[in-house]
Structure 1
Amino acid sequence: MPEQASELTILEATEEEVRSGFVGRQLRAFNYGFVGEYPEQQSIRLNAKDADGHVVGGVRAYVFLYWLQIDVLWVAEDARGRGLGSRLLAQVEARAMELGARNVKLETFEWQARGFYLKQGYEEFARIDQYASEYYLAFMKKTLR
């Protein structure tokens, strides 16, 4: 007979439990029943460096369920306006397609790079108003070709 919820405890996961990946594997097995097997999450981390080797831009992203998720795309203020953001975006999209991604999604605050992404072919499909003070958070996507 299953235990009652009041008889169960919720604790912070131990380092060993996190390293084992047990919870993630259980969810993955459940998902397979609906969408079939898919590759494990693949990280993409790219940096742009100047002639002196200083990082002046970068992107942190991953491919999961054939979607590229861009978590961070950053270009140093003094390196902006020279196409570096577009180059980083093109490279992460190309790498994602090599890993099987068909689409890309990201989030950006209104003060960040919404206009930049629109110019790159992204569309805003949702937003949360007043996410950070009076500013909205835009959710954007694009089909990769």
Structure 2
Amino acid sequence: MQPLIVTPDAPSAADREAILDVLVAYNDEAHGPSGHEPVAVLVKHPETGATIGGLWGRIVFDWLFVELLVVPKEARGEGIGSRLMAEAETRARARGCAGIWLDTFAFQAPGFYTKLGFEPFGKIDDHPRGKARYFMQKRLPD
């Protein structure tokens, strides 16, 4: 049986999960259990309790990848981003991670991450055109 190659106009969350399940199974078989663990540190509205920002990431093998980080516009400059990252770092240390990595665009927050001890390890120029995307890491001491 020859598999079909399909390009859906609106891929679903279930499609992503199906791909991820196959990849995690492969990685676990090739290297041992990855310990694929989601990490969330949420910013909640004080009255409604709705999530209005936060950090979303995942620990895979020995590193925490910060996939998403956003502070609500009205709360920026109050140290919330630093608190989110500090909590994520605490979680990473508790899980024995070697470090934390992330990516950010030039128009987002590379300077913010540098102040937190992150160092660039890669860059894509013209992503988006005229700007850059940075890949940054912070090693955690043993």
Normalising by the residue count of structure 1, what TM-score does the alignment of the two structures yield? Answer: 0.79
Is the aligned partner of 1:60 residue 2:56?
yes
Of 95, 100, 113, 2:91 maps to 95
Moved more, 76-85 or 54-63: 54-63
C-alpha distance 110-10 of structure 1, shift in aligned 2 (>3 A): same
Distance across 1 between alignment mates of 2:101 and 2:20: 28
**1:74-118 superposed Cα distances (whole Å, 9 cap, x missing partner):** 001110111100000000111122222111110000000111001
Structure 2 match to 1:122: 118
1:51 Cα offset (Å): 2.1
Residue ranges of structure 2 left out of the alignment (5+ in a row): 7-13
Distance across 2 between alignment mates of 1:91 and 1:43: 14
Residue ranges of structure 1 left out of the alignment (5+ in a row): 1-6
Aligned-residue CA RMSD in angstroms?
2.5
C-alpha distance 120-40 of structure 1, shift in aligned 2 (>3 A): same
Is the aligned partner of 1:41 residue 2:15?
no
1:40 Cα offset (Å): 2.1
1:20 Cα offset (Å): 10
| Count of matched residue pairs | 132
Distance across 1 between alignment mates of 2:102 and 2:122: 11
1:133 Cα offset (Å): 1.9
Look at both structures and tell me which one has the larger radius of gyration over its CA atoms. 1
- Aligned ranges for residues 66-77 of structure 1 at < 5 Å? 66-77=62-73
Task: Report the 3-state secondary structure (helix = DSSP H, G, I; strand = E; otherwise coil) of the residue aligned with 1:134.
Answer: coil
Q: What amino acid does structure 2 have at the position aligned with 1:123?
A: E
Normalising by the residue count of structure 2, what TM-score does the alignment of the two structures yield? Answer: 0.81
Task: Report the 3-state secondary structure (helix = DSSP H, G, I; strand = E; otherwise coil) of the residue aligned with 1:115.
Answer: helix
**1:20-76 superposed Cα distances (whole Å, 9 cap, x missing partner):** 93453134212x2xxxx3442000012112421243420000001100100001001
Structure 2 match to 1:21: 21
Q: 1:56, 1:79 within 8 Å by CA — same for their partners in 2?
A: no
Structure 2 match to 1:80: 76
Give the % identical residues: 30
Task: Report the 3-state secondary structure (helix = DSSP H, G, I; strand = E; otherwise coil) of the residue aligned with 1:100.
Answer: coil
Is the aligned partner of 1:141 residue 2:137?
yes
Distance across 1 between alignment mates of 2:20 and 2:75: 41
Distance across 2 between alignment mates of 1:107 and 1:130: 15
